Structure 1
Amino acid sequence: MDELIKAIKKKLADMQKIEAAGFRDQEKAADYFREKEELLEDIVKALEAVAVGHLQETEALKSTVKELRGELKGQAANPRELTRKELQYRLGKALAAAWTGNHGALAELSFTPNLKADNWTNPRDVSWGEKGWNVNEKAALGSPMGNMATNDQYLINPIYENEIMQDAAKKSVMMPLVRHRPMMGPSIFLPTRDRGGVQLHWLTAYGQQITGSKPQGAQRVELKAYTLAGFIPWFDEFEEDVFTDLGAMFIDEFTEVYGQEFDRQCLLADDDPFTGALAADGTEEVEIAGADINALTWKDFRDAVYRVPAEERKDCAWFLHETVLNHIANIEDADGRPIWRHPTEAMPGKLDLYPYHEVSILPQHGAIENDTPFAIFMNPKRIQHGNRKGIEIKKFDGTTESMEYGELFLRFRKRDGFLVTRPRGNMVVLKTRA
């Protein structure tokens, strides 16, 4: 029972760390406060299970819960708005603090030290006190070792991380389209059921036997997460700039490269470290009329579309480079008039009745050789993205570039996983002939 009370006290300590940083989006604020309310509900249920002998202690805990509920209701009704400029300023201030080792400023901005690469620290387990960084509870057996006093790698405030990832989604074609799954560990197993997994039977008489074969079960596939690292050039002169410019620079640099890498892992990567849709085993390949991309016609697209069953097709779209789309737009009829659109018409939103997405990392028209896949028709929800929360930043100055040119680096790390599920019969790749 003492262990239960101790666990309740830890949850309440986590609850009292209510973020006062603000929110850029009302929906994100609502999700945040809803999560806190669910945590309070769990605490109330746990308190009801505590024995009568701990009445005085449980009454004190219930009083704390009541106060926190009142505080949550007030903040949820009027969540503090975080402006774009304020986000950039706070992020820039934290980056500068991480660079100079200003732990007090980092704690004020809810940045927390990260102790080990393989087992990242939970920000809720770290707090800032009079003597520096503290772990709230006694470390469990098998916890990572590290010296927080000299630690120089930090996790970005989760609220700022959400805002940064929303910006990254604007730089990526695939991020708003694929299915996202939160990951609490380095690997999770997902049940992926294809069509026909459930069988139905009509019973037309009393006592009739229910016959039929065993239904098709869900296929269990493993989604792994790996760490993605990048280095942003940093010069000493940056420290003299205003914090707002520094924060804006980090957001621009991170979102640009992360958005492109996200699309690459979804579509092009070939075991590097994940496998994208164009290289996935099981996708059906449809060759166009010739080995030269200029032989591409409308018939090739139509033939590819009808390789996918109708019930899957309704959620599918084309993914191709804009130069390939331009080639299609310039196909003319026997009288020399464009088939798809006239010069005065706007670009249609569909390609032969199906939506399309222009992806800049896919092969462009002039670079497509023979035996080369260049477009894919699929439902993007078949691509699973595993998102392990946390963006870590770290200062790097022990490099040859820093000695010769005064160029330093700010490293960032994030953990993600990608998996293409059930490509067989559901995805079609268009390619040139061998």
Structure 2
Amino acid sequence: MNEKIALLEKKLEGMKNMIPKAGASDEQIARYFSEQDAIIEDITKAVIDMHGVTTSEMESMKDTIKSLKDELKKADKSITVMDEKEAAYGIGKMLAALWTNNRQTLGEMKCCPNFGMDKWTNIKDYSWVTGKGFIRSKDALGDPIGNMESNDQYLINPVYSEILIEAAAEESCMMKLVSERRMTGPSLFLDEDEGSLVKMTWNTNYGQQIKSVTATSPSRVELKAYTLAGFISWYDEFEEDAFVDIGRRFIKKFKASYAHEFDTQCLTAKATPFTGALNAKNVNVQSISSTDGSKLSYEDFRKAEMLVPSAERAKCKWFLNDTVLNEITNIKDSSGKPLWRQPWEKMPGVIDGYEGIVCSVLPQFTDLKADTPFAVFMNPERIIHGNRKEIELKRFSDTTESLEYGQEFLRFRKRDGFLATMAKNMAVLKTAKA
């Protein structure tokens, strides 16, 4: 058989084996089926364009494609959204299998060993076959599979990855607001949207020569993805009736830590590898009149807003700590009455007409010191998140803590990139210099 045809048939079989029975949400399910349709369409076009394909090979491919489409149609009618308890049970069962290195359960739950260091394994290229283990479907014929018995780090089922990320998004103040780009490699070059207008000319007579116009080339920026690792202290209690509790415990720890790190990289990061909006190069700065925030006024917010182009302000929001917002809303007039918020009113959702987003990673009012940025006015879509979707898990037991205290760890890893673009269209509030 033609080698390319054989590889494509294996890929289609792998896709069939990876069809989920349940999804994280209606949106995730719809996105999954859309992605599968696009892949099938690409494969179909590739087969049609191939040379030297026999009639029998073409018919075999058609049958394989039809079989996959039929399975997807069945799945589309039967697939359900997991409720919270089902999701926790599934994640708990997966963690128990990882902890005990139960490869069969991990394979049946559509997890996959990660053999790559810099370049991770593509989970879609592997499937679990009872009696044989994890089988790679994308290798050229004759390529050795290698030793799959010794690897103890696994990429988890994409459905559970989606569940974990959606849980984190509920905790994060930034995840639902930033622009997201799917990354399939370590680096991606993007055009930076500077909001510049397209040059145009008027033709005033029929038959008039169309004059050439030099196009304005946008700036190019590079979005790089790096690997984030987190270590969760763990315990060895993996009875089946505890799966739900184990899953809930992991979800709770993952969503809190990942959401906090995500917001930090978007807003306050200033060390390698990323720089957040507060410390972005070329960002506009509005300094208040005091070094500790004691003379902070709503007028400082208004002055900062005016540093941002008017066309950009329509999509801008304020990002600040709730203690800073509370300080502003407590400002009183000469008679001692609150200017902004009466005692019976809740915290306002707008600041000078713009939505205010409270973020715990931003500096608290009592922590303000001289020359400290503490709030930012921006369009959050200017922050780009590069998402390499896989999440990897690994058990760590041979550590110093394990030897000394009997403490073991579960490591999770995820690859992400962050880039604050168009900083000149952002404005930061900062305390005065000493």
> What TM-score, normalized by structure 1, do the two folds share?
0.94
Question: What does 1:354-365 correspond to in 2, within 5 Å?
Answer: 354-365=354-365
Match status 1:68 vs 2:68: yes
Match of 1:195 in 2: 195
Conserved 8 A contact 1:20-1:80: no
Match of 1:344 in 2: 344
CA distance in 1, matches of 2:299, 2:86: 53
Match of 1:390 in 2: 390
Aligned residue type for 1:431 = K
SS at match of 1:294: coil
Aligned residue type for 2:63 = S
Deviation of 1:317 (Å): 0.6
Q: Deviations over 1:154-180 (max 9, x none)?
A: 011001101110001011101111001
Aligned residue type for 1:235 = Y
Q: How many residue pairs are counted as aligned between the two chains? A: 432
Conserved 8 A contact 1:383-1:418: yes
Match of 2:19 in 1: 19
Aligned residue type for 2:230 = G
Match of 2:427 in 1: 428
Aligned residue type for 2:133 = G
Match of 2:293 in 1: 293
Q: 1:44 to 1:144 in 2, by over 3 A?
A: closer
Q: Deviations over 1:24-70 (max 9, x none)?
A: 32221121112212222233333434568611222232122223222
CA distance in 2, matches of 1:126, 1:14: 7
Conserved 8 A contact 1:234-1:408: yes
Question: What does 1:228-377 correspond to in 2, within 5 Å?
Answer: 228-237=228-237, 242-377=242-377
Match status 1:186 vs 2:189: no
Match status 1:132 vs 2:140: no
Deviation of 1:23 (Å): 1.3
CA distance in 1, matches of 2:193, 2:73: 41
Aligned residue type for 1:134 = I
Aligned residue type for 1:256 = A
Q: 1:65 to 1:377 in 2, by over 3 A?
A: same
Match of 1:226 in 2: 226
Deviation of 1:326 (Å): 0.4
Match of 2:90 in 1: 90
CA distance in 2, matches of 1:78, 1:239: 30
Q: 78-87 vs 97-106, which deviates more?
A: 78-87
SS at match of 1:312: helix
Conserved 8 A contact 1:193-1:217: no
Gaps of 5+ in 2: none
Conserved 8 A contact 2:383-2:419: yes
CA distance in 2, matches of 1:223, 1:267: 16
Question: What does 1:3-18 correspond to in 2, within 5 Å?
Answer: 3-18=3-18
Conserved 8 A contact 1:197-1:218: no
- Identical-pair percentage: 49
SS at match of 1:86: helix
Conserved 8 A contact 2:383-2:420: yes
Gaps of 5+ in 1: none
Q: 302-311 vs 198-207, which deviates more?
A: 198-207
CA distance in 1, matches of 2:226, 2:146: 22
Deviation of 1:19 (Å): 2.3
CA distance in 1, matches of 2:399, 2:118: 24
Q: 1:212 to 1:376 in 2, by over 3 A?
A: farther
Conserved 8 A contact 1:183-1:388: yes
CA distance in 2, matches of 1:22, 1:30: 12
Match of 2:168 in 1: 168
Conserved 8 A contact 1:115-1:147: no
Q: Deviations over 1:401-423 (max 9, x none)?
A: 21222110011100000001111
Q: Deviations over 1:117-169 (max 9, x none)?
A: 2111111222223132222243699x999631111000110011011100010
Q: 407-416 vs 48-57, which deviates more?
A: 48-57
SS at match of 1:133: strand
CA distance in 2, matches of 1:422, 1:212: 29
Q: Deviations over 1:53-100 (max 9, x none)?
A: 611222232122223222212221332332221111111111111111
Deviation of 1:249 (Å): 1.1
Q: 1:215 to 1:52 in 2, by over 3 A?
A: closer
Q: 1:51 to 1:289 in 2, by over 3 A?
A: closer
Aligned residue type for 2:431 = T
CA distance in 2, matches of 1:49, 1:202: 44
CA distance in 2, matches of 1:237, 1:44: 48
Q: 1:53 to 1:336 in 2, by over 3 A?
A: closer
Aligned residue type for 1:326 = N
CA distance in 2, matches of 1:145, 1:58: 28
CA distance in 2, matches of 1:89, 1:200: 59
Conserved 8 A contact 1:203-1:210: yes
Aligned residue type for 1:132 = G
Deviation of 1:348 (Å): 2.4
Conserved 8 A contact 1:197-1:215: no
Match of 2:44 in 1: 44
Match of 2:77 in 1: 77
Conserved 8 A contact 1:265-1:274: yes
Match of 2:417 in 1: 417
Q: 1:140 to 1:287 in 2, by over 3 A?
A: farther
Q: 1:139 to 1:58 in 2, by over 3 A?
A: closer
Q: 209-218 vs 241-250, which deviates more?
A: 209-218
Deviation of 1:213 (Å): 6.4
CA distance in 2, matches of 1:138, 1:41: 22
Aligned residue type for 2:26 = Q
SS at match of 2:234: strand
Q: 1:186 to 1:239 in 2, by over 3 A?
A: farther
Conserved 8 A contact 1:236-1:406: no
Match status 1:406 vs 2:406: yes
Deviation of 1:239 (Å): 5.9
Q: Deviations over 1:305-344 (max 9, x none)?
A: 1111110000001001101000011001122111112112
RMSD: 2.3
Q: 1:339 to 1:212 in 2, by over 3 A?
A: farther
